[in-house]
Structures are given as C-alpha cells and as structure tokens.
C-alpha cells in the first residue's frame, strides 16, 4: 500500500460555542505551517501561548501544543491549537492553515495515520471509534479495554499457540531425518484449545453488538392501548402526543434510555389496526410493522379495561418470533386479575413500571450481559469466525490422520485471519471502510 503523508488539518472539537475549540494539524510541516500564523516562536515540548495573526490583525489568543514525531497521536509532527470556542474564530483559523499549505483531513485520517505509523493496532483504532460512540458507561468501559489492547493481547495469545504447533509441523516436514512427525494427539489438543478460546470470545459477540449498538425495543398495541403514555413514563418526558382520540400517535418516534447499563432505543409505534380509513394512519401501521421487525424486544400492550381481543392477538402475532413481553395497561382502572405471563402497569400511578424494566433487563440478560473486558465489532467477529473455520478443518484433518502438510495450510490460514484483527494483514479497501465511520478531526 502506498501512502502520502502530507500535512492535514481539522477541527477536533464539535463546531459550536464552547469553552475552547481545538484545531489539529498533523504531518511533516505541521509545526512550520502553524508557525506562519502564530506570533511567538513555537518551542517543542512547551505550552506556547500567543496570538493567531491574519495580515497583522489579531484573530484569537491561543495555546499551541507542539508534538514532535514520533511522540504524538499520529506518530507525526502535530500541532494542536486551542482557541476560544467560537465557531467563527475556529473556522477562520482553519482556513488560514489551509491557505498555508495543509489539506483538510478525511474522516478518521488522524487515527488511520496513527495505525499506519504503528502507534496502535487496528483493533485499538476501532476502539477509539467505539469509545467516542459509547452510549453507556458499560460500553465505554469495554471500549476502553479494547483501546488498552486487550483484544490484541487475547488474539496474540491464540495466534502464538497455533504458531507453536505449526512450527513443530513445519520443522518435521522440512527436516524429516532430524525431527520426528508431530503426534496427531498433540495437534488435536492444541487446535481444540485454540478453537475453545475463539468460541469463548465469539459467545459474547451478541452482547458486544448490543453494548456497541444498544438494543431496540418496540412499544406495540392497538390505538389507545396506552403506548404513548408508557413511552413517556419510561422516558420520563412528554414527547409523544397523548390524547383520547384513537390513532393519535401517527408516526414512529424513537428515544434512547438506559436500562442497567444497556442503551435501549425505544420505538413508539403508531396504533396498529387492520384497516384504517385514514391514509396517514395506514403509513403509521406499516411503520409499526417495520419497527416490530427491526426490534430486539417487543412490548405488546393491551388495554386492561377491555382485555385481550382478536385485534390485540393479531398485533401480538406480528411479534411472535421476537422476544416479547405482554403488558396489560391502565391497571389503576382495572380490578380483574393479571395473568401469569404478563406484566400489569399503570402509566398514571407508575405501578408495575419497575417490574417491566426488570423484565426487559431479564430478556437482555438472556444474551449474557456480563461486563466484557473488551468489545469486538462485526469485522473482528468475521475474522474470528474465518479463523475458527480454518481451525475446524485442521482439527478434522488431524482426527483423520491427514497429511500434516495439508493441516499446516489450514493452520496458516487461521493465523492470517487472526492477523487481520490487529491489521497485520489488511487491504486498502478494508482500511477505508473502517475509517469512513470516524468523524473528521479524529
């Protein structure tokens, strides 16, 4: 892969009013370029305080932090300018830096350079993104684990075990007179060990995905079942419109809340009815079906005063392949008994709300929500699965006493797939895909 490491720049903080704004410049000429617009001589390893000057006019009083390669985030010369947090000033200074010869950075280009300059491996670079995007403390902690290199350490351990048995096989193949053929039992034990370790990581994959992306919960039910009221109660706000006229919640509305450290996106579906004379509401019904399909968990609401009718059953059936919780609403107005498999709530008195949250968490718990030391993303899970496939081929080969030459090919393939996780073996396309998801300035 060929890379040009010209000097890039970007605003690293959100472009809105704030205490400070940070502009980051990275590349061989980073410090030289910033020097052209800064009043004082920039001294390395020192906090430089001075003014940004444009054609003799003072633009802002700033701090310039110079980092000399390789001791910087990107591994290149870096200058970070801390300005006052005015979008107008920040943009002005960015334009001046562009005028002096830097180029605007692409998404994730600073982190991409950090990876290409061996400041971090690919799993750590991806963890930067996970940390920025973390919605809860739990996901932030796990992302921090990956950032520390825990995923890298784990995959290196597995790789070194596979390499060790592969080394023995290759030695016996290359020097048959001096080195005895490796015992098939030994190959089976070692390969099985590596398979178990990869399976251990993959068993948490579903949970990793939930920690990274959150879980989607749809609130479904007939018009007037109490969906919007429950939605508001769970969120503690009045966003969806609540009225007594059936079918008022016409659009799906989403909000995020946190349930025991898991980020949950709540989708308030419009009243689901089989036929509605109202076109707008029909669109809502279609969206509800889509929302149920998309959801991981569906709360199926029915009005406790009325009981479950045929129309309710139809809606509940839409969610029959999902994890679903039947919710009997408006229990403050009912005196009939709750059934065993449902939760009775009142959005008015808040009765049953904690119990409902607990039930949601238990459904999530089914997916094993233990705190994970690190996170894997879908790309990394794909690499692990490919590596596993190759190891299983090797294991079968060993069990059938196949030629060890053939077994070694599968072992090499499994190592290559593991190497893709840290980015030892990586294509330009994959790299671009990964860093496309970053923000500019990171």
Q: Which residues are annotated as a binding site for Mg(2+)?
A: 228, 249
Two tokens at 390?
A: 């190759």
Kindly indicate which of the ranges 154-162, 210-218, 221-229, 320-328 contains the residues binding ligand GDP, using the contact rule CB under 6 A: 221-229
Binding status of residue 242 toward ligand GDP by CB under 6 A: yes
**DSSP annotation string for 155-211:** HHHHHHHHHHHHHHHHHHHH-TTTSPPPPHHHHHHHHHHHHHHHHHHHTTHHHHHHH
CA 400 – CA 386 distance, rounded (Å): 21
Binding residues for GTP: 224-229, 243-249, 268-271
CB of 121 or CB of 281, closer to ligand GDP: 281
Judged by CB under 6 A, the number of residues near ligand GDP is 21
In the complex, minimum distance from the CB of residue 263 to ligand GDP, in angstroms, rounded to a whole number:
23
Which residues belong to the annotated binding site for (6S)-5-formyl-5,6,7,8-tetrahydrofolate?
24, 80, 119, 442
Q: How far is the CB of 337 from ligand GDP (least distance, A)?
A: 17
In this chain, which stretch among 70-78, 140-148, 166-174, 243-251 interacts with ligand GDP, using CB under 6 A?
A: 243-251
Q: Are 300 and 220 in contact (CB under 8 A)?
A: yes
CB-count exposure of residue 308 (10 Å: 0-12, 13-18, 19+): middle
Rule CB under 6 A: which of 70-109 touch ligand GDP? none
344 binds ligand GDP (CB under 6 A): no
Closer residue to ligand GDP in complex, CB, 135/227 = 227
| Residue 332 contacts ligand GDP per CB under 6 A | yes
Contact between 244 and ligand GDP by CB under 6 A: the answer reads: yes
In this structure, is the dihedral angle defined by the CA atoms of residues 429, 434, 436 and 441, taken in order, positive or negative? negative
* Min CB(240)–ligand GDP separation in Å: 7
Q: Taking CB under 6 A as the rule, does residue 145 contact ligand GDP?
A: no
CA–CA distance, 52 with 36 (Å, rounded to integer):
9
269 makes contact with ligand GDP (CB under 6 A): no
Taking the C-alpha atoms of residue 341 and residue 283, their distance in angstroms, rounded to an integer, is: 31
Confirm or reject binding of residue 346 to ligand GDP (CB under 6 A).
yes
- Binding of ligand GDP at residue 271 (CB under 6 A)? yes
Which listed residue (330, 377, 383, 422) binds ligand GDP by CB under 6 A?
330
Binding mask of the shown chain, residues 158 to 197, with x at each position contacting ligand GDP by CB under 6 A: ----------------------------------------
Rounded (5°) CA angle 294-296-299: 100
The Cα 2–Cα 347 span in angstroms is: 61
Least distance (Å) between residue 421 CB and ligand GDP: 45
288 binds ligand GDP (CB under 6 A): no
Kindly tell me which of 61 and 286 has the beta carbon lying closer to ligand GDP.
286
Q: Which of 50, 54, 48, 41 is nearest to 91 (CA)?
A: 54
Which of 276, 347, 372, 376 is close enough to bind ligand GDP by CB under 6 A?
A: 347
List Cβ neighbours of 204 (8 Å cut-off, separation of 6 or more).
368, 370, 372, 376
Structure token pair of residue 290: 């889509």
Burial 140-153 (b: 16+ CB within 10 A, else e): bbbbbbbbebbbbe
Separation CA 420–CA 303 (nearest Å): 53
Contact flag: residue 225 with ligand GDP (CB under 6 A): yes
- Look at residues 117, 110, 6 and name the one whose alpha carbon lies nearest to residue 69: 117
Taking CB under 6 A as the rule, does residue 352 contact ligand GDP? no
Q: Pick the piece of the chain touching ligand GDP (CB under 6 A) from 46-54, 168-176, 341-349, 415-423.
A: 341-349
* 348 belongs to the binding site for ligand GDP (CB under 6 A): yes
Residue 157 tokens, joined: 């351990």
H/E run at residue 420: helix 404-422
If one asks whether residue 284 binds ligand GDP (CB under 6 A), the answer comes out as no
Beta-bridge partners for 103: 8
Q: Is 276 in the site for ligand GDP (CB under 6 A)?
A: no
**324, two tokens:** 């679903």
- Does position 223 interact with ligand GDP (CB under 6 A)? The reply is yes
What span, in angstroms and rounded, lies between the C-alpha atoms of 434 and 432?
A: 5
CB of 344 vs ligand GDP, minimal distance in Å: 10
229 makes contact with ligand GDP (CB under 6 A): yes
Provide the 3-class DSSP secondary structure of residue 107.
Answer: strand
Q: How far is the CB of 237 from ligand GDP (least distance, A)?
A: 14
Of the residues 72, 209, 228, 377, which one makes contact with ligand GDP according to CB under 6 A = 228
Closer CB to ligand GDP, 43 or 333, in the complex: 333
From the list 385, 393, 390, the residue with the least C-alpha distance to 203 is 385
Interacting residue ranges for ligand GDP, rule: CB under 6 A: 221, 223-229, 242-244, 248-249, 271, 329-330, 332-333, 346-348
């Amino acid at each position: 892969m060929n890379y040009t490491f010209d000097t890039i720049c970007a605003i690293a903080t959100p472009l809105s009013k704030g205490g400070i704004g940070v502009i980051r410049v990275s590349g061989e000429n980073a410090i030289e370029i910033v020097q052209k617009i800064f009043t004082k001589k920039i001294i390395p390893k020192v906090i430089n305080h001075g003014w940004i000057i444009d054609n003799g006019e003072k633009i802002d009083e700033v701090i310039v932090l110079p980092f000399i390669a390789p001791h910087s985030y990107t591994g290149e010369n870096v200058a970070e300018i801390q300005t006052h947090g005015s979008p107008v000033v920040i943009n002005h200074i960015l334009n001046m830096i562009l005028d002096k010869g830097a180029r605007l950075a692409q998404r994730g280009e600073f982190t991409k350079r950090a990876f290409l300059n061996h400041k971090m491996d690919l799993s750590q670079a991806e963890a930067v993104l996970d940390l920025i995007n973390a919605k809860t403390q739990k996901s932030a902690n796990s992302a921090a684990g990956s950032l520390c290199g825990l995923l890298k350490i784990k995959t290196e351990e597995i790789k070194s075990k596979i390499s060790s048995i592969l080394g023995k096989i290759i030695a016996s193949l290359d020097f048959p007179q001096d080195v005895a053929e490796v015992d098939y039992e030994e190959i089976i034990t070692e390969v099985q060990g590596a398979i178990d370790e990869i399976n251990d990581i993959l068993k948490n994959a579903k949970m990793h995905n939930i920690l990274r992306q959150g879980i989607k919960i749809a609130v479904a039910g007939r018009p007037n079942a109490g969906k919007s009221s429950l939605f508001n109660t769970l969120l503690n706000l009045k966003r969806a419109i609540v009225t007594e006229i059936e079918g008022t919640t016409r659009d799906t509305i989403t909000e995020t809340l946190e349930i025991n450290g898991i980020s949950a996106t709540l989708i308030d579906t419009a009243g689901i009815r089989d036929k509605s004379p109202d076109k707008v509401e029909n669109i809502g019904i279609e969206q509800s079906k889509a929302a149920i399909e998309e959801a991981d968990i569906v709360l199926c609401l029915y009005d406790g005063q009325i009981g479950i009718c045929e129309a309710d059953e139809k809606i509940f059936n839409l969610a029959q392949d999902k994890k679903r919780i039947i919710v009997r609403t408006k229990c403050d107005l009912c005196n009939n008994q709750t059934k065993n498999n449902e939760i009775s709530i009142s959005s008015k008195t808040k009765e049953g709300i904690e119990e409902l949250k607990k039930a949601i968490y238990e459904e999530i718990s089914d997916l094993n929500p233990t705190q994970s030391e690190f996170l894997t993303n879908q790309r990394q899970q794909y690499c692990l699965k490919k590596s596993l496939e190759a190891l299983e081929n090797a294991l079968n080969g060993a069990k059938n006493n196949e030629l060890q030459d053939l077994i070694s090919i599968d072992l090499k393939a499994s190592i290559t797939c593991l190497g893709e996780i840290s980015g030892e073996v990586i294509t330009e396309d994959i790299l671009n895909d990964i860093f496309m998801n970053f923000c500019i300035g990171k």
